[in-house]
Amino acid sequence: MSVTVVGSIAFDAIKTPFGERERILGGAATHFSLAASFFTDVRVVGPVGDDFGEAEYAVLRERGVNTDDIELVEGGQTFFWAGEYEYDLNSAKTLDTQLNVFGDFQPKLSEGSRNAELLFLANIQPDLQREVREQCTGAQVAGLDSMNFWIESTRDSLVRTIGMVDILFLNDAELRMLTEEPNLVRAARKVMEMGPRVIVAKQGEYGAALFSEDAFFALPAFPLETVIDPTGAGDSFAGGFLGYLDSAGRSLDEGTLRRAMTYGSTLASFWVEEFGSERGRRLTREEIDERYELFRRITTIESVPTA
Amino acid sequence: MSVTVVGSIAFDAIKTPFGERERILGGAATHFSLAASFFTDVRVVGPVGDDFGEAEYAVLRERGVNTDDIELVEGGQTFFWAGEYEYDLNSAKTLDTQLNVFGDFQPKLSEGSRNAELLFLANIQPDLQREVREQCTGAQVAGLDSMNFWIESTRDSLVRTIGMVDILFLNDAELRMLTEEPNLVRAARKVMEMGPRVIVAKQGEYGAALFSEDAFFALPAFPLETVIDPTGAGDSFAGGFLGYLDSAGRSLDEGTLRRAMTYGSTLASFWVEEFGSERGRRLTREEIDERYELFRRITTIESVPTA
């Protein structure tokens, strides 16, 4: 079993009301890889520049992530993002984006990465996502993330890409935007008609909801008194979700999907407790399973009492 | 066992993208009463004018609601509210508010209403809410609703009122506004320090979360393909919650509170399927218990799999 993720590897400058970091390891593929590594073997694919050094590789390798397909672009600089969060942490204001080596990225996957049983296409240009999907002939299940920018600028390409994957992760607002349907249940159904068997609507501080042909499952976010930095929450969610799914045999049955949702939410809840992936790096599988169980407890409803 | 509710009885004009009603029975106390009536005996207290006729009394009486303490102000007009919802149904735009008889409302409670074991203070001026709380010497448990308007205009009075109740229902944004604390968990804790043992954060389409000294419980909203009119959702939620709580003996233990949350969410989910209380009037306890069970099923997480 193994998971391949293709997406951004980055340096982030992040400011929140609780502090700031001038330059920390970030990027969707990084957050996803670290989170998924608690469940399965992970291969990360993405470009970096000369400024990406041993310290950065070490963060990934310490969690057992295979970095062979990280492509070093000599003379280039790694993708850089600077953002600031307001007091309520709900939305980031982008202060600076430097695509750098990511601007000319053409994914080249090794045989090992192409043969992974599960593929995650993190948020990049939809044409590139399709190229990767076509290369990964070993992938029994493919997951996809995207964003409002691609819905607005390259909708047709994105819809074609959505048609090639099994599980789509989007914010609820993006699902509504994509379908022009304000009702989330109907929006999810419309997107399923484009191809995917499973739609995961990410709802930020409110949790997430999952739709499939015959299942619906919703989970509030784990209640946290300390939320420091939401960067990477969505990608660590997808990493926990798909990492667990791969480890459980990639069946999209209801029980497995519920557990995947819960692991995804659990990983995201740890991620936001510190800057970037700082909490994730110190995390243990034991801590994850403890919080999973706590999560289960605080959402349990008993049967109708027979008075 | 019985519940007294004090609050507005109104005529509403409502426009949503799915239709409109020019003049239907509304008001917080009305929605609450009808919802709670599926679980316990309900007494409704509030003023009406000459325009409130037999047809309106009949709606309440058909559900067994005791209307003896509805105060008819001769020569007066019933409270009137006109509102419009945008396409996403998230927020109402108030088009017209005519306080009418509600402007001079001085609650006068009969002995029967004062002796009810459970009291719900629907959203009215906080001084009035305190007067009612003091009159209701029989109430073992008191619930309170309020709104941003009172937080902004009469915060001190509201805080004193909050100090006299056991269960506070507020939107999550209002809890943050009241405490000036963006983190919901901390906000809930701060409000508990004002007095209430239980805080219910209503989150609209995202469901609701409950905080008590030793419990946390969160529930997504029931997924609906058809949402016609959100008016009364919060009050039907409180009606289902407190009506069940009264029927279950008013213990604030964790299991009872979880079931109360689920019944509240279930009632609200029916309420929004049609205009005003139209769906609620045709509802049966069997339908409620069926949806409760479905709700339980779609939020169930299994234990950590021992792989």
In DSSP notation, B167-197 reads: EEEEEHHHHHHHHT-SSHHHHHHHHHTTS-S
- To which residue do tokens 């020569």 refer? B75
pLDDT for the residue numbered B174: 96
Closest by CA to B201, choosing from B214, B190, B185, B181, is: B185
pLDDT for the residue numbered B307: 47
The answer to whether the CB atoms of B304 and A289 lie below 8 A apart is: yes
- To which residue do tokens 């709700």 refer? B295
Percent of chain A with pLDDT over 70: 98
Chain B residues 89-108 with CB within 8 Å of chain A? 89
- In whole angstroms, give the CA distance from residue B59 to residue B280: 10
Chain B residue with minimum CA distance to A204: B206
A158 close to A151: Cβ distance less than 8 angstroms: yes
Of the candidates A186, A289, A293, which has its C-beta nearest B225's C-beta? A186
pLDDT for the residue numbered A307: 47
- What does the block give as tokens for B291? 């949806």
The answer to whether the CB atoms of B302 and A295 lie below 8 A apart is: no
Side-by-side strand order, sheet with B118-121: B70-72, B41-48, B2-6, B118-121, B141-145, B167-171, B198-202, B208-212, B216-219
Q: Is the pLDDT of residue A30 over 80?
A: yes
Task: Give the distance from residue B105's alpha carbon to the nearest chain A alpha carbon, in angstroms.
Answer: 38
E-strand stretches of A27-91: 41-48, 70-72, 79-85
- pTM score, whole prediction: 0.92
- How far is CA B63 from each of CA B38, B66, B120, B159, B251, rounded to the nearest angstrom? 8, 9, 18, 34, 25
Q: Given CB atoms, is A161 within the 8 Å cutoff of chain B?
A: no
- In whole angstroms, give the CA distance from residue A48 to residue A79: 7
Q: Which residues of B touch A209 (CB under 8 A)?
A: 220, 223
- In whole angstroms, give the CA distance from residue A285 to residue B274: 47
Q: Which residues of A touch B209 (CB under 8 A)?
A: 220, 223
**Max Cα distance, chain A (Å):** 73
Chain A residues 235-264 with CB within 8 Å of chain B? 247-248, 255, 258-259, 261-262
The answer to whether the CB atoms of A307 and B247 lie below 8 A apart is: yes
Q: Is the pLDDT of residue A56 over 50?
A: yes
Chain A residues 168-197 with CB within 8 Å of chain B? 176, 182-186, 189
**Mean pLDDT across chain A:** 95
pLDDT beneath 50: ranges in chain B: 307
From the CB of residue B298, how many other CB atoms can be counted at a distance below 10 Å? 17
pLDDT for the residue numbered B305: 57
Chain B residue with minimum CA distance to A247: B307
- To which residue do tokens 């310290």 refer? A55
Chain B residue with minimum CA distance to A202: B206
- In whole angstroms, give the CA distance from residue B37 to residue B183: 35
- What does the block give as tokens for B288? 């409620």
Q: Which residues of B touch A259 (CB under 8 A)?
A: 301-302, 305
DSSP state for residue B278 in the 8-state scheme: H
The answer to whether the CB atoms of A303 and B295 lie below 8 A apart is: no
Q: Which residues of A touch B183 (CB under 8 A)?
A: 224-227
**Could you report the predicted ipTM of this complex, rounded to two decimals?**
0.86
- In whole angstroms, give the CA distance from residue A40 to residue A36: 6
Of the candidates B247, B262, B304, which has its C-beta nearest A301's C-beta? B262
Stretch A82-99: mean pLDDT, rounded? 89
The answer to whether the CB atoms of A300 and B305 lie below 8 A apart is: no
Chain A residue with minimum CA distance to B294: A303
Closest by CA to B49, choosing from B13, B106, B100, B105, is: B100
A–B CB contacts, 8 A cutoff, strictly below: 120
pLDDT for the residue numbered A296: 87
- In whole angstroms, give the CA distance from residue B219 to residue A168: 23
The answer to whether the CB atoms of B299 and A219 lie below 8 A apart is: yes
Q: Which distant-in-sequence residues (6+ apart) come within 8 Å of B306 by Cβ?
A: none
Tens-digit pLDDT profile for residues A271-286: 999 999 999 999 999 9
Stretch A110-118: mean pLDDT, rounded? 97
Tens-digit pLDDT profile for residues A180-233: 998 999 999 999 999 999 999 999 989 999 999 878 888 989 999 899 999 999
- What does the block give as tokens for B148? 């941003």
B204 close to B170: Cβ distance less than 8 angstroms: no
Mutate to test the interface with A, among B244, B301, B302 (most CBs of A within 10 A): B301
Q: Which residues of B touch A261 (CB under 8 A)?
A: 301
Q: Which residues of A touch B292 (CB under 8 A)?
A: 304
pLDDT for the residue numbered A304: 64
- In whole angstroms, give the CA distance from residue A266 to residue A240: 8
Q: Is the pLDDT of residue A54 over 70?
A: yes
